[in-house]
Amino acid sequence: MNGILSRHIKPYSLLSHHLYAKVYTGPICRLIKYRQPQNVSFRRMQSTKRVKLSPSPDVENLKVTDSAEPESVQEIPESTKESAKKESEVADAGTESVWKPLVWVDCEMTGLNVYEDNIIEICCLITDGNLNLIDDEGYESTIYVPKEKLDAMDEWCLEHHGSSGLIDKVLANKEKTIEVVQEELLQYLTKFMDPKKGILAGNTVHMDRFFMNREMPKVVEFLHYRIIDVSSVMEIGFRHNPNLMKKFPKKKGAHTARSDILESLNQLKWYRDNYFVQPIADESSQEEAPVEAPNDSEIKATIELSTVV
């Protein structure tokens, strides 16, 4: 052993001193510097339930040269406590409240080239497995790209994104970079579900996933690998039951991220109510009718019958 303590404490006594600090200070010994009292009797150690050691002959003469006074423990500010409490409540409530979550996403892009074009708007709404909206507000944001990139869009994008006001909103919010929006969306999702639980849903949503794989990989990694593509149901319906599909709700085609999601959600609700076979009741959950106990006359008749036989 090196240092000042080696001249006063033998190895066994040093172990006793360490255990004394652990027993009598508990978790506090991790927060403040513990000062060993002078001439501590090891008999106090024997009275505890947590430690049972034979007394060391040198404990009575134990001396500690370090006389540092205990440091005061600073209290956590109330604002910090409240903030942590709110975050914990939101996280706990969210992960428990959403049953089989569906993450509805729609992106507006500068084009359909998944290698060169970019997402300029994204909206996300969350429903449970019964297609009930969990949060009406959802998450929605534009994503900044330079004006030169917007000017290079094809005629269709220039017309629709210009008439909807999307181009102006993109240029007016330069702080909304793809990195910022990805982190915001990821934080929003974690309020309502655990990783690998939410299934991506929407119309032709595989295209949105292609772009997100390149520009928002953290969000894609957070979600389940499966998707629910409403347009797949539509294509099956046109081939399997075309007469019924003449009545399905058509999309208005506003080509804003939020409106596209709501239209896709309403379409899936229509398919569920009009096209899909309705759920079958769980036979195992049906309780059997209670068996009534026989009355006295029935018991008497049974006895008489058995006697005759």
Pick the catalytic residue from 24, 34, 188, 225. 225
Query: Residues 6 or more apart from 160 whose CB is under 8 A from it?
Result: 255
Closest to 191 in 3D by CA, of 95, 126, 121:
95
Query: d(Cα 85, Cα 70) in Å, to the nearest integer?
Result: 30
Do the beta carbons of residue 183 and residue 139 sit within 8 Å?
no
Handedness of CA 28, 29, 32, 35 (dihedral sign): positive
Closest to 190 in 3D by CA, of 139, 227, 141, 225:
139
Compute CA 103 distance to the chain's CA centroid, rounded to the nearest angstrom.
Answer: 12
Enter the DSSP assignment of 50: S
Count CB neighbours of 122 within 10 A: 27
Question: Is residue 139 flagged as an active site residue?
Answer: no
Query: C-alpha distances in angstroms, 92 versus 57, 95, 98, 103, 124?
Result: 54, 6, 11, 19, 21
Taking every pair of Cα atoms in the chain, the longest distance, rounded to a whole number of angstroms, is 104
Torsions phi, psi for 2 (to 5 deg): -115, 160
Ramachandran sector of residue 117 (left: φ over 0; alpha: ψ -120 to 50; beta: rest): beta
Closest to 193 in 3D by CA, of 94, 272, 115, 263:
94
Torsions phi, psi for 207 (to 5 deg): -70, -40
Q: Which residues form the catalytic set?
A: 225
